[in-house]
Amino acid sequence: MNNSVGQAVRGKDFWKRESELASLWFAIESGSHILLVAPRRVGKTSIMFNLQDEPKERYIVVYIDTESADSENEFWQKLFNALMEEEFVGKLKKYSKRFANFLERISIDKITTKGVEFGDGTVVDYATAFENFIKELDSDRKLIIMMDEFAQTVENIIKYEDEENAQKFLRTHRALRQNENLANKVTFVYAGSIGLESVVTKMNASKLINDLNSIKVKPLMREEAVLFTRALCDSTSIEMNDDIITILLDKIEWLIPFYIQLLIQQLDILSREEKKTQIDEMMIDGAIEQALSQRQLFDHWRSKLKDGFKKKGYLFAKEILNIICEKDTMSSLKIRNKATKHELDEDYAREIIHSLEYDGYITKYEDGKTYRFNSPLLKLWWYKNVAN
Ligand SMILES: Nc1ncnc2c1ncn2[C@@H]1O[C@H](COP(=O)(O)OP(=O)(O)O)[C@@H](O)[C@H]1O
Ligand SMILES: [Mg+2]
């Protein structure tokens, strides 16, 4: 395993997250459609890549990243293009002859706002065209369609078109999931770093996704993080004994693979600079400082907040985070008082706090009433770059 920091990983760089993969496959095999949820950088895309690269027998997996799709039309272009892509069809030939032949034969002229236009001039609406495609799937195969950054597409439609179109788009998806002709043929997996749940709640349309089986991707468990850290150390020339690994993981606390990789990368650089292979605590502190100074790695935590809320909401969210950062914790009561000060309606304020929790900024203590930063690294970054 190489220490690959930044892009979603695949192949031998993927640390096999057995329990996440098992829950996902279990849900797929039990026939549900899935909402894969986790804040940014927890590892959703990497997990989906693994599903695609090592599918279980009888499954065919298609992955699309829909972040740049701004309309229903662009979404379907992405999906049909992925299905008809030469490389995908080539791979299919080995185990799904009928479907591969069909995909090779079919000619789509264009995909317009009216629907899919075929070579023979017929125009069919997206959902029907999709259903017709699926009919051709080999009888013993099931297609898994993974749509990454799906909620972003819904937000884009709201932004560039309107809410009504966004709801129509979600209704089409729901209808496809409930279409009996497709039931044993297709599994839809929706994923993304902004919460689909928050987006639909804002539109009062939760019922359009309440049939989805939501699966959370969590950070690594402590023991797993230790093994992961050891494996990463093996890929570099640094050495860390168990006590030092404990110190490192204590400082990271929110044990997502990304943070561990980032710090190992910085430790590797430091160790070369200092010509010292055995890592000590001072070097860990140095590595944390170096990591946090890379603006592009953390800045999205601020910019996403700005994009995600209207001005009043943004200022409220920012102040709450500044306070939690300065004081370490904040109670729900104090948060409610702040909302009143910002003249925010109670429901909207609650929705903002919910998004902050959902997106991985803050988390509740077990008392269920007091909030703190989810990740000490983010807290440190926020303290230096936003709060002060
Ligand atoms: N299973 C994994 N094995 C190794 N590295 C991982 C794994 N999951 C995530 N990462 C690391 O975390 C980063 C973010 O992963 P990614 O899959 O893009 O997360 P998400 O899609 O949730 O934002 C990757 O660049 C990679 O460095
Ligand atoms: Mg991703």
Contacts of 225 (CB under 8 A, 6+ apart): 219, 249, 255, 260
244 Cβ inside 6 Å of ligand 1: no
**Angle between helical axes of 86-95 and 72-84 (0-180°, round to 10):** 50
CATH of the domain at 331: 1.10.10.10
With respect to residue 196, please indicate whether it lies within any of the assigned structural domains: yes
Q: Residue 323 and residue 132: Cα distance in Å, rounded?
A: 55
Minimum-distance ligand 1 atom for the alpha carbon of 49? 17
Considering the domain architecture, whether residues 119 and 42 belong to the same structural domain is answered as yes
H or E, element range at 60: strand 59-65
Considering the domain architecture, whether residues 304 and 259 belong to the same structural domain is answered as no
With respect to residue 76, please indicate whether it lies within any of the assigned structural domains: yes
Considering the domain architecture, whether residues 97 and 206 belong to the same structural domain is answered as yes
DSSP 8-state symbol, 239: B
Distance (angstroms) between ligand 2 centre and the Cα of 259 equals: 15
Q: Are 371 and 332 in contact (CB under 8 A)?
A: yes
Considering the domain architecture, whether residues 236 and 354 belong to the same structural domain is answered as no
229 Cβ inside 6 Å of ligand 1: no
Considering the domain architecture, whether residues 330 and 314 belong to the same structural domain is answered as yes
The pick from 1, 2, 9 for probing ligand 1's pocket by mutation, whose C-beta has the most ligand atoms within 8 angstroms, reads 9
Segments forming the whole domain that contains residue 358: 296-387
Q: Residue 8 and residue 25: Cα distance in Å, rounded?
A: 20
Sign of the torsion formed by the C-alpha atoms of 303, 305, 309 and 310: negative
Walk along the chain (388 residues) and give the pLDDT tens digit of each residue: 787 787 899 999 999 999 999 999 999 999 999 999 999 899 999 999 999 999 999 999 999 999 999 999 999 999 999 999 999 999 999 889 999 999 999 989 999 999 999 988 899 999 999 999 999 999 899 999 999 999 999 999 999 999 999 999 999 999 999 999 998 999 999 998 778 888 898 888 999 999 999 999 999 999 999 999 999 999 999 999 999 999 999 999 999 999 999 999 999 999 999 999 999 999 999 999 999 998 888 998 998 888 878 899 999 999 999 999 999 999 999 999 999 999 999 988 998 998 899 889 999 998 889 999 999 999 999 999 998 8
Ligand index nearest the alpha carbon of residue 40: 1
Give me the residues paired with residue 192 across strands: 37
Considering the domain architecture, whether residues 198 and 284 belong to the same structural domain is answered as no
7 Cβ inside 6 Å of ligand 1: yes
CB-CB neighbours of 138 under 10 Å: 17
Considering the domain architecture, whether residues 141 and 174 belong to the same structural domain is answered as yes
Calculate the alpha carbon distances from 272 to 239, 243, 328 in Å.
12, 21, 35
Considering the domain architecture, whether residues 192 and 243 belong to the same structural domain is answered as no
40 Cβ inside 6 Å of ligand 1: yes
Considering the domain architecture, whether residues 104 and 183 belong to the same structural domain is answered as yes
Out of 216, 232, 263, pick the residue that ends a domain. 216
DSSP 79-99: HHHHHH-HHHHHHHHHH-HHH
Minimum-distance ligand 1 atom for the alpha carbon of 46? 17
For the segment 70-129, what is each residue's pLDDT rounded down to a tens digit?
999 999 999 999 999 999 999 999 889 999 999 999 989 999 999 999 988 899 999 999
With respect to residue 3, please indicate whether it lies within any of the assigned structural domains: no
Q: Which residues of 118-130 are buried (b: 16+ CB within 10 A; e: fewer)?
A: beeeeeeebbebb
Considering the domain architecture, whether residues 63 and 208 belong to the same structural domain is answered as yes
Minimum-distance ligand 1 atom for the alpha carbon of 42? 22
Q: Residue 116 and residue 78: Cα distance in Å, rounded?
A: 12
CA nearest ligand 1 atom 24, residue: 8
Considering the domain architecture, whether residues 175 and 312 belong to the same structural domain is answered as no
- Specify burial of residue 107 (Cβ count, 10 A radius: 0-12, 13-18, 19+): exposed
Out of 293, 318, 337, pick the residue that ends a domain. 293
With respect to residue 156, please indicate whether it lies within any of the assigned structural domains: yes
CB-CB neighbours of 171 under 10 Å: 13
Distance (angstroms) between ligand 1 centre and the Cα of 320 equals: 28
Considering the domain architecture, whether residues 209 and 239 belong to the same structural domain is answered as no
Give the number of domains in the chain: 3
Ligand index nearest the alpha carbon of residue 41: 1
3 state SS of 125: coil
With respect to residue 201, please indicate whether it lies within any of the assigned structural domains: yes
Q: Residue 126 and residue 136: Cα distance in Å, rounded?
A: 16
Q: Residue 263 and residue 258: Cα distance in Å, rounded?
A: 9
